[in-house]
Amino acid sequence: HPFLKHWKFDIILFTFPHTGVPNSNPESIGSNKQLIRDFLKSAQQLISPHGEINVTLKTSAPYDKWTFPDFSAYEIKPKSQYDFDSQLFPGYIHRSTRGHMDVNSGKAQTYVFSRENKGKYKDYCEKNGSFCPSSSFTLSIGFFTVDDEDIEIFVMDVLTASDIENCNVLDIRRRFPEAIRPDTRQLNRVLYGLEYSNRLRRGPPKGTSKKPTWEVV
């Protein structure tokens, strides 16, 4: 923006970034990795000399695959990270990118980046053999078992996709990447919970199956 290029900020926040590409889509991970890279490249130009960029991501799958870039080509470096606490932001509500529905933030980490003392930090790393932003690396996110809240988000992504309809529990389960695919019992628990909260509607079985189909209310 022509006005923003003249401003410098002490802190820039990007909380739970998402491109809107459904998590069930194989292109989702790549698109979100690119989103984060493009954001960091842009935001680094807008922070003050001692400013910070804070990116908050969920730590469960598939978000644990959204690795950060090699920072050797950036003007910023990783500074710290801490558990995200939504209570620090009164009135904050986590909503899904698609449909803007209220969702549980679950376990999340805020990753802090800054340009502060990057040159001195690099010299220290070279002398002491420590991690340095000019070194080739991948900053990965810790993996946690997928919980019901994460499955809820994924289910809503699947059922709001335009290329799918008349899905039963098995159809939905097949859409999950194998690494995070829940068992049928857990998935059914989530589906009936979403029906109880009036977010999903149960439909008649299809074909010879006895399993109900599901659609978004």
Per the model's pLDDT, the better-predicted residue between 179 and 35 turns out to be 35
Q: Is 172 exposed, middle or buried (0-12, 13-18, 19+ CB in 10 A)?
A: buried
Contact between 154 and 176 (Cβ < 8 Å)? yes
What is the pLDDT at residue 151?
A: 87
What is the pLDDT at residue 99?
A: 57
Per the model's pLDDT, the better-predicted residue between 150 and 186 turns out to be 186
CA distance 217 to 215: 6
| Per-residue pLDDT reduced to its tens digit, 130-172 | 434 333 334 444 444 567 888 888 888 888 875 677 889 999 9
> Which stretches of 96-154 are assigned E, i.e. beta strand?
108-114
CA distance 24 to 37: 21
| Partners of 55 in beta bridges | 14, 111
Q: Quick one: which of 214, 213, 197 has its CA closest to 102? A: 197
- Residue 185 contacts by C-beta under 8 Å, 6 or more apart in sequence? none
Q: Quick one: which of 107, 37, 33 has its CA closest to 67? A: 33
| Per-residue pLDDT reduced to its tens digit, 46-94 | 888 888 999 999 888 888 888 888 888 888 999 999 998 888 877 777 7
Tell if the pTM clears 0.85, that is, is over it: no
Q: Phi/psi of residue 14, each to 5°?
A: -135, 100
| Per-residue pLDDT reduced to its tens digit, 30-58 | 999 999 999 999 899 888 888 899 999 98
